[in-house]
Amino acid sequence: MKKAIGIDLGTTNSVIAFKETVLKIIRNSDGEELTRSYIALNNGEPFVGQRAYMIIKRALSSTFQ
């Protein structure tokens, strides 16, 4: 059987899955299957996912799309 990797870079959430014999969703570093599609810099340090979303919510006036 062929192996496959699927990556969904959605506008709200992103997810990665791997299939060898059965489909398996890869969990992020927080243990979640879905990762928020956000990237933030805080004092030059990059953040992704839920952590980035929380930083952006606190600093809406300095956020751009």
Grouping H, G, I as helix, E, B as strand and the rest as coil, residue 22 is coil
0.85 exceeded by the pTM?
Answer: no
Q: Please give the single-letter amino acid code of residue 29.
A: S
Q: What is the pLDDT of residue 65?
A: 58
Spatial separation of the C-alpha atoms in residues 58 and 65, rounded to whole Å: 15
Assigned token pair, 1:
């059987």
Q: What is the pLDDT of residue 25?
A: 97
Q: What is the pLDDT of residue 4?
A: 96
Which of residues 64 and 14 earns the better pLDDT score? 14
Residues whose CB falls within 8 Å of the CB of residue 22, separated by 6 or more in sequence, listed in order = none
Decide if 51 contacts 45 (C-beta within 8 A): no
- Domains contained in the chain, CATH given: 4-62 (3.30.420.40)
The length of the chain is 65
pLDDT tens digits, 30-62: 999 999 999 988 888 999 999 999 998 887 766
Q: What is the pLDDT of residue 48?
A: 92
